[in-house]
Amino acid sequence: MNKAYLFLLGCFCLLLAGCWDEVNIEERGFVIGVALDLAEEQSGDKPIITMTDQFVVPSGLGTPSEGGNNAETPYNNLSISGQSLFKITREMALIQGNPPFYEHLKLIVVSEELAREPEMFANSMDLLIRDHEMRRETKVIISDQKAKELLEIESQIEPLPAMHIDRVNENMDKSGALIEPLRIGNLNEYMLEKNNYLIPRVVPSDGKMMFNGAGVFDGKTNQLVDVISGLEIVAVNLITGDLKGGYIEFESNDGEMVYEIKRAKSNIEMNIDETGKLNIDIEIDTEGYIAEVFSDNSLLSKEYFNELDKLISERMEKITSNIIKKAQEDIGMDFFGFRKMMEERHYKEWLKVKDNWDEGENIFQNASINVTVDATVRATGTVDQTRD
């Protein structure tokens, strides 16, 4: 009986989880931000990349009562240059007492200078997509300056620069000028499917940083080809139905007003006619409030509300038509996701045009795209007037 009991006990022990690969948390070099730039000094045929890792310094995060040292910086940025990012990460282990650990990586910043170089962006993303430590939720942004400079911009609220940028990137419900954060998992899908895509763009200035538009990337080359502004991002979000909040400024007979958008949706219909021309009809519906008025006139009139609805609708139609025109005529590239919609909704027609969407016959550039907007003002805020 005792032997049978001991035998079963031994078998159960084999099923218990072990900790053979355990590493003490104090020995981890937690990296929360990575910046990628072209090195200032280049040699040879292959470009040299400067990789900057932002390591967390736990002792600099706590308050004095928690044993923290306020005089100590809560992060440490380490930069190394080379042609291989994998090799760079291993070289960091020769400098840092705690080797880099990327499972908590929040943010990857890429300089526009690097992203405009042929094949450089895709090559630099390879390790970050492929490595088993990398989380698919890690966000990717671009910077019009040196990427590593962003990891040096401190905030009074958030002690870690990478975390500060990461949190601002989530404020889509407050500003329509922000696009949905691009996560590295989604980036991998775009690259595999060769779909054009947008990456949020950050502009550092006077020791601060601000999101300002997005970079337009060619899905075939994964190269930055152009940038669009914050207002143009609002227009893109209206078209795609991704707008979660924000505002529109417009002119009325009483002066400038601000319309806060509380709800927005779009309906997109597309077809290819008998001549092979692509036709896209976009209907946008929004609801919102008058957030700010630069006049002393009363707004409590049904006729005046109807006039405001019309003015806001016209303003939205103008900015959406402008970004479509820019995409077709200036950039020559579909970054609205129409290509994907066509594939999902009209697969047979898609097979006929997929090789000529952005090139060859340029189906997208020659498409007829019409936008209609129905904007509704629901209220004027808590008061009609703030002054006589």
Q: What is the pLDDT of residues 307-356, one digit of tens each?
A: 899 999 999 999 999 999 999 999 999 999 999 999 999 999 889 888 89
Same domain for 244 and 203, yes or no, is: no
The widest CA-to-CA distance across the chain, in whole angstroms, is 96
1 falls within a domain? no
Print the domain residue range for 64. 28-228
Checking if the pLDDT of 388 tops 60, the result is no
Ordered DSSP codes for 79-121: EEEES-HHHHHHHHTTT-SS-EE-TT--EEEEEHHHHTSTTHH
Same domain for 164 and 70, yes or no, is: yes
End position of a domain, from candidates 178, 206, 228: 228
Same domain for 179 and 240, yes or no, is: no
Q: Which residues of 52-82 are buried (b: 16+ CB within 10 A; e: fewer)?
A: bbbbbeeebbeeeeeeeeeeeebbebbebbb
12 falls within a domain? no
Q: For tokens 């601002």, what's the residue?
A: 168
| pLDDT confidence band for 15 (50 / 70 / 90) | low
Burial of 248 (0-12, 13-18, 19+ CB in 10 A): buried
10 falls within a domain? no
Asked whether the beta carbons of 228 and 246 are under 8 A apart, the reply is: no
Q: 0.75 cut: is pTM over it? A: yes
pLDDT for res 41 = 83
Sequence letter at residue 198: L
End position of a domain, from candidates 168, 198, 228: 228
Cα–Cα distance for residue pair 29/31, rounded to 1 Å: 6
Question: Terminus-to-terminus CA distance in the chain, angstroms?
Answer: 96
**Helix spans in the chain (H):** 2-15, 85-92, 112-115, 120-130, 147-150, 161-168, 184-193, 230-240, 302-325, 338-345, 347-353
Same domain for 271 and 172, yes or no, is: no
- The 10s digit of each residue's pLDDT in 175-227 is 889 999 999 999 999 999 999 999 999 998 777 889 999 999 999 999 999 99
Same domain for 248 and 223, yes or no, is: no
Tokens of 171: 């404020």
Checking if the pLDDT of 20 tops 70, the result is no
Same domain for 267 and 167, yes or no, is: no
CA atoms within 13 A on the CB side of 373: 24
CATH number at residue 353: 3.30.300.210
- The 10s digit of each residue's pLDDT in 115-165 is 999 999 999 999 999 887 788 899 999 999 999 999 999 888 888 999 999
Q: For tokens 């981890």, what's the residue?
A: 28
Tokens of 245: 């909040």
Sequence letter at residue 267: N
End position of a domain, from candidates 180, 206, 228: 228
